[in-house]
């Protein structure tokens, strides 16, 4: 598991700059299958059925609650798209990458 998944999110109330393009590029290398579009970090996870999809959604919600950093989720029968952005700063923060790494680790279970 990447060390990024071992980190904890830090509270973000704004007042800091989003990550730069260079910082994002370095962190993207540590994730598997995520893409960066506009100011959003995104990945679609696919499952065999609705039950597995909802189990993933619930586990993602638990991780989000524990980290106090919440993604936008788009849920279908056998897939879930996860979008991260730090709304308080209007771009990406390290928190987005920490949570993405935790979700990747979850998906690998």
List, for residues 27-60, the tens digit of each pLDDT value. 999 999 999 988 999 999 999 999 999 999 999 9
pTM of structure: 0.92
Q: Residue 107 pLDDT > 80, yes or no? A: no
Please state, in angstroms and rounded to a whole number, the distance separating the CA atoms of residues 47 and 52.
6
For the chain, domains (ranges, CATH) are 40-109 (3.30.1360.20)
Please state, in angstroms and rounded to a whole number, the distance separating the CA atoms of residues 65 and 39.
22
Q: Phi first, then psi: what are they for 98, rounded to 5°? A: -60, -50
Q: Residue 109 pLDDT > 70, yes or no? A: no
Average pLDDT, integer, range 11-23: 88
Instruction: Using pLDDT thresholds of 50, 70 and 90, give the confidence band for residue 2.
Output: low
Q: Phi first, then psi: what are they for 17, rounded to 5°? A: -80, 150
């Amino acid at each position: 598991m990447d060390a990024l998944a071992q980190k904890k999110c830090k509270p973000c109330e704004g007042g800091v700059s989003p990550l730069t393009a260079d910082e994002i590029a370095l962190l993207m290398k540590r994730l598997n299958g995520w893409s960066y579009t506009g100011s959003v970090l995104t990945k679609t996870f696919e499952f065999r059925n609705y039950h597995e999809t909802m189990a993933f959604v619930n586990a993602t919600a638990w991780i989000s609650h524990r980290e106090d950093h919440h993604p936008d989720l788009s849920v279908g029968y056998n897939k879930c798209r996860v979008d991260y952005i730090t709304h308080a700063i209007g771009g990406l923060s390290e928190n987005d990458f920490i949570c993405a790494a935790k979700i990747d680790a979850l998906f690998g279970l």
